[in-house]
A and B are shown apart, each in its own frame.
Chain A
Amino acid sequence: MRLQYPPEIKIIMIPCTGRVDILHLLKAFEGGADAVFVAGCLEGECHYLMGNIRARKRVNKLKKDFTEIGMEPERLEMFNLSSSEGPRFAAIAKEMSERAFKLGPSPIKHEARAAWLAEHPEVKEAS
């Protein structure tokens, strides 16, 4: 369909969202990502039956942890969609990209964050 979405979105392929480990999500942030989302099959339609349910659990757990450590939980999300929902994928990509821009560099990236905060005095650090 070649629906346009922001180029900041970069996709990494895994066999099933069930393979997504909390470790992978953390490493993505550590590596420099400002937002991460997991795109899985619709619930009930997992080729491997339960993989997406497991993934959602892990994502939700991590979001909770984020809140506790003072990182915006909106930086992480899990979505369910089917392979024929190209437009929805593009919409999600846009939404997540907008979130990342709105939230600014992730707090893990101290220098970038500080510079960004300097440019955006209106933003107050949560903690």
Chain B
Amino acid sequence: MESRSTRVALAVWSALVVLFLWIPLALIMVYAFNSSNVESWPMPGFTTHWFHAAWTSEVRTALWLSVRVGLTATGIALVLGSMAAFAVARFRFFGRDAVSFLLVLPIALPGIVTGIALNSAFDVGKVALSTWTIVIGHATFCVVIVYNNVLARLRRSSPSLIEASQDLGADGWQTFRFVVWPVLSTALVAGGLLAFALSFDEVIVTTFTAGAQNTLPLLILGYIRLGQQLPVVNVIAFAMIVLTAIPVLLAQRLMRDTGVLRRGPAEVTEAVETAQIAAY
């Protein structure tokens, strides 16, 4: 349909947008090797010194807290999120629409609203801010991620599979193990991965639910605000970009092997959905 010049123009525009997305990420990776602790351009020289210097006890403590919070919130989300998804997908009950609407509120409302709501609730309830209040804050939106992922998968799978399994004499456990679980497992892995990634990167809700403790994003936020330890921030940025590349490329390989990117619109929709949920 498109003329040759249109196609070329679109390709050039796309290349420019991809460059716009990538030049900053490439730059921060270069800055990790900056020999000066003043972050101006051009850099005076290269060094790998900061890669050792960044592994401070402050960074380690914050990293460990982020990992613990992420794992706990993801665990809670996997249990509660899939329960809710099952109930909404498999049963019709009074107020079902209201429930499915309420459950997406934590990602539909701006993070700052969730943050101040929990903050003032903890304040009123005389709950001291701790690791657990951070976990509660993160779990509210992690649950939604898992819920959405599992619900989408359940809607695409037929409930008659379960009835067939029961007709063939399987008990509840067998039906779960051999029918439900194979259908669900990848959705749970994807949902769990997204929930963890989200929790690991969360700033806004965390600023209102963390006490004196620092998660890794809070530590970075503090450094950037005060303009301190910027070489350390550069190294953390380098590490995080490399680390996040691994799951994305893996997921991409999986999608290519199953043909998501070549097959029909339904698979594309699922891939896009997953990607969008990732964004939160």
Chain B binds chain A? no
Chain B interface residues (CB < 8 Å from chain A): none
Chain A interface residues (CB < 8 Å from chain B): none
